Amino acid sequence: MEPSETFLIKVFGNEYSVRADADADHVSRVAAIVDRKMKEIDRQFGSSTVARTAVLASINLVDEHLKETKATEERVGKRLGVLIEKLDNVL
C-alpha cells in the first residue's frame, strides 16, 4: 500500500484537506463525483444545510453503487452459467 498523501480538494464550494492512499488523479475524480452529486441534490431538493446535502448525496451514491454492483453480479452469474453449461457439454 502506498503511504498516505494529503490533497486539497474542493467539494460543493468548500475546500477540504484530505489524506488518501491513492494518486492525485483518483482523489480528484472522487471529489468531482461527490461535488457533482451534491450539486444535483441541492438543485433537486434545495437542502437547507451542507450537512443535509452531503447526507442525501451519500445515500444516493451508495444506492447507485449497490445497484451497479448487483447488476454486475447478475451479469457475471449469467455468464458463468453459460460457461458452465458449455463446459458440461464438452465434458
The domain total for the chain is 1
For 51-90, the pLDDT digits (tens) are: 999 999 999 999 999 999 999 999 999 999 999 999 999 8
Nearest residue to 7 via CA among 76, 26, 34, 38: 26
For 12-25, the pLDDT digits (tens) are: 999 999 999 999 99
pTM: 0.79
Q: Which structural domain range is residue 65 located in?
A: 5-90
CA distances from 49 to 1, 56, 60, 87 (A): 36, 11, 17, 57
